[in-house]
Structures are given as structure tokens and as C-alpha cells.
């Protein structure tokens, strides 16, 4: 998804995608959604525009340390028609309580920078991360030998694997912290913070219902 920058998103309903609020909180002319292919330059990649987006009312960016960094993006029936192969994710509730003891690792996915001074990836990249803390609003993860989320991965998913092999999306990327030793981003040992979708399930449901029942309230 591209608005004022380059971000990921997760499909949570037929016409809805969830992403980070900081991806769309600045003025933009258009929100473009790209899907259907793991490579953004593939001829199979489909591009469409979104109809509108709704940021969480409690999001204030750096003023409150990126709390409530979540937004919903709505596509009309015409806009969503070309994304029929983009699956609606299972998100939020996990089979066991979300805690490092039950889910010691999760997997991230995104098209972000492969290093801080590098370029955005055209290929969807994934890596496994250690879950170090899971609070009601945020999940903290640690990089794996320098592999982890970076700029351009914001709004992209963190998912865990259940005992039956199914995947549950539990978070969307909000913040990437600096390396604890060098102060650099996206290298060595560093943390990332994901907005915990378990803590925002009611918000997601209520916003989708409001916008579908009263479209004028959301545009």
C-alpha cells in the first residue's frame, strides 16, 4: 500500500485493510493498493486505489509515542474486484494466550528496506522474530542476527503459527528502534514494536460497521 509513503497492510474483510496510522496521517492525493503478487514489479501484480481511510482517534504520532498506531483502509466494490486472490487474514484472537511462553517467535513480512541505507525490496521478504513482550496494545519483537523490520515495512503483519499449522496475524508494524549499541537503524540487535490487533478488535469491528451503515461519517 502506498499513500504518503511505502507501507504494508493486511486484509481483514472483503473491502477493508488494516495498516499503521502513521502511513496515512499526512496529506496525500491517493492511496494505492498493490496485491496479487509477491513481486511488486510482476505483471501479475494488481494496482488499485482506495476509497478512504480512517485513523484511530487516539493516534497522535510522536506526541504519544505512536500509541494507537492503527488505521483502516476501505476499497469500494469496483476497486476491490481486482484483488480477489488476496486472502482475508485470520487476525487477533490466538488459540492460546498471546505471550512469549506460548508463542516465542512470530514471522514478519514486508517490502521494506533490506538495510537502512539500502533500497526498498521488490520481493516480499519474511523472517522469524523473537517475541519478547506482548501487552494489550503492543507487541515487542527482537531482530534475528540483523534480520528484522525496517523502514517501508510499517503496517505489515506479524503472524504466529498455531498448533494446527494455521497462521494468525497478531500485529501490524508501528515502530523500529535503533540498534542498542551503534544507534543505527535496521542492523544488528534491535527491537520492533507492533500494534497488537487483539487490543483493537472492537475498534476494527465498530469502525467497519459505522462506515458501512453511515458512509458519510467516514469520508
**pLDDT-based confidence at 2, cuts 50/70/90?**
very low
Please check whether residues 132 and 150 belong to one and the same domain.
yes
Please check whether residues 210 and 174 belong to one and the same domain.
no
> Domain limits at 56?
10-88+201-217
- 97 assigned to some structural domain: no
Of the given ranges (16-25, 47-56, 92-101, 110-119), which has the lowest mean pLDDT?
A: 110-119
Measure the CA–CA gap between 211 and 217, rounded to whole angstroms. 6
Average pLDDT over residues 180-195: 91
In this structure, what DSSP letter does residue 155 have? T
Predicted confidence (pLDDT) at residue 4 exceeds the cutoff of 80: no
Predicted confidence (pLDDT) at residue 1 exceeds the cutoff of 90: no
- 100 assigned to some structural domain: no
Average pLDDT over residues 6-30: 92
Please check whether residues 84 and 145 belong to one and the same domain.
no
Q: How many domains does the chain have?
A: 2
Please check whether residues 123 and 75 belong to one and the same domain.
no
Model pLDDT, residue 26: 81
User: Residues 85, 129, 19, 117: what is their CA dihedral angle, to the nearest 10 degrees?
Assistant: -100
Handedness of CA 214, 215, 217, 218 (dihedral sign): positive
Q: What is the mean pLDDT of the chain?
A: 93
Please check whether residues 78 and 149 belong to one and the same domain.
no
- 171 assigned to some structural domain: yes
Model pLDDT, residue 3: 41
Predicted confidence (pLDDT) at residue 170 exceeds the cutoff of 70: yes
Share of the chain above pLDDT 90, in %: 78
Model pLDDT, residue 27: 77
Model pLDDT, residue 5: 65
CATH number, domain with residue 154: 2.40.10.10
Other Cβ atoms within 10 Å of 75 Cβ, number? 22
Please check whether residues 187 and 207 belong to one and the same domain.
no
Average pLDDT over residues 151-160: 96
Other Cβ atoms within 10 Å of 22 Cβ, number? 22
Predicted confidence (pLDDT) at residue 155 exceeds the cutoff of 90: yes
Please check whether residues 77 and 149 belong to one and the same domain.
no
Please check whether residues 206 and 151 belong to one and the same domain.
no
- 124 assigned to some structural domain: yes
- Find how far residue 91's CA is from the centre of its chain: 11
Average pLDDT over residues 70-77: 96
Q: What element of type H or E holds 110? A: strand 105-110
Please check whether residues 191 and 176 belong to one and the same domain.
yes
Please check whether residues 206 and 161 belong to one and the same domain.
no
Please check whether residues 145 and 67 belong to one and the same domain.
no
Number of C-alpha atoms within 13 angstroms, CB side, residue 198? 18
Amino acid at each position: 500500500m502506498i499513500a504518503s509513503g511505502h507501507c504494508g497492510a493486511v486484509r481483514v474483510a472483503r473491502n477493508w485493510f488494516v495498516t499503521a496510522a502513521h502511513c496515512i496521517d499526512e496529506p496525500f492525493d491517493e492511496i494505492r493498493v498493490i496485491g496479487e503478487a509477491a513481486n511488486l514489479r510482476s505483471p501479475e501484480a494488481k494496482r488499485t486505489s482506495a476509497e478512504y481511510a480512517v485513523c484511530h482517534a487516539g493516534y497522535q504520532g510522536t506526541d504519544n509515542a505512536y500509541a494507537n498506531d492503527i488505521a483502516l483502509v476501505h476499497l469500494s466494490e469496483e476497486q476491490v474486484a481486482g484483488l480477489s486472490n488476496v486472502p482475508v487474514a485470520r487476525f487477533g484472537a490466538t488459540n492460546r494466550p498471546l505471550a512469549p511462553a506460548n508463542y516465542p517467535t512470530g514471522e514478519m513480512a514486508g517490502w521494506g528496506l533490506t538495510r537502512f541505507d539500502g533500497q526498498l525490496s521488490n520481493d516480499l521478504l519474511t523472517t522469524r522474530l523473537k517475541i519478547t513482550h506482548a501487552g494489550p496494545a503492543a507487541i515487542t519483537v527482537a531482530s534475528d542476527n540483523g534480520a528484522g523490520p525496517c523502514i517501508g515495512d510499517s503496517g505489515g503483519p506479524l503472524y504466529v503459527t498455531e498448533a494446527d499449522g494455521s497462521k494468525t496475524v497478531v500485529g501490524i508494524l508501528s515502530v523500529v528502534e535503533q540498534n542498542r549499541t551503534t544507534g543505527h537503524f535496521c542492523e544488528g540487535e534491535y527491537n520492533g514494536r507492533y500494534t497488537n490487533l487483539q487490543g483493537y478488535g472492537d475498534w476494527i469491528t465498530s469502525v467497519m460497521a459505522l462506515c458501512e451503515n453511515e458512509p458519510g461519517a467516514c469520508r
